[in-house]
Amino acid sequence: MNLAWLLFEDLSINARGKVTLYHFSKAKTDSVSLDPERVGQSSFSRREMNTSSVPRVFFYLDPEQREVMFQNPVYHLFYVEVPFGSIYNLREDSKGYKKQFASEQTGTVDFHALLKHLSGWNKLSGEGWTKTNPLYKGVYYNVGFDVVAWFDPITVTNFKLGNIISTYDERTDQ
């Protein structure tokens, strides 16, 4: 099953070919700018950052599939619509990246190297992260629930039922 069908079946790709991503935050504002280099607030984010320190922001595809902590009313739901083609489906892995980054001895995937490859993020010794030649802006995978890790800074909008509009700046997706 490819990501397009999965999303169409579960959440739908809208008529403009975009996917809605959901994020929880304590912010009480209309919008929040998220920076992948400043991630790590939730327990899921901290666990994932132990797997790989590649800068990324985490989104849910279904706001009902969320960590228990986000059921607390101090967290507010935010959303953003992004182009479907900007997300790589790692579950399907049609380009064979998991095999490319798997150990020949154990078959274990080097998730850190794989994320660096997809995102274009690199870290030079003693320096911060730099970004060159990204293949995708995000990657879709499942960790007991569906998640998209997004590699670029992005602004999300406070969710207001019935008022989903695109907040993704299409000029950055060229």
Would you state the pLDDT for residue 152?
A: 95
pLDDT at position 47 is 64
Give residue 7's pLDDT.
43
Average pLDDT over residues 85-95: 92
| Residue 6 vs residue 105, higher pLDDT | 105
Q: What is the pLDDT of residues 91-121, one digit of tens each?
A: 889 999 999 999 999 999 999 999 999 999 9
Cα-based angle 68, 71, 75 (whole degrees, multiple of 5)? 120
pLDDT tens for each residue of 16-26:
788 999 999 88
**Residues 6/126, Cβ–Cβ less than 8 Å:** no
State the virtual CA torsion across 94, 99, 102, 104 in degrees, nearest 10: 180
Q: Considering only 4-18, 133-147, 152-166, which range has the smallest mean pLDDT?
A: 4-18
**In the block, residue with structure tokens 């993020």:** 121
Every domain of the chain and the residues it spans: 3-161
Instruction: Give the pLDDT of residue 168.
Output: 45
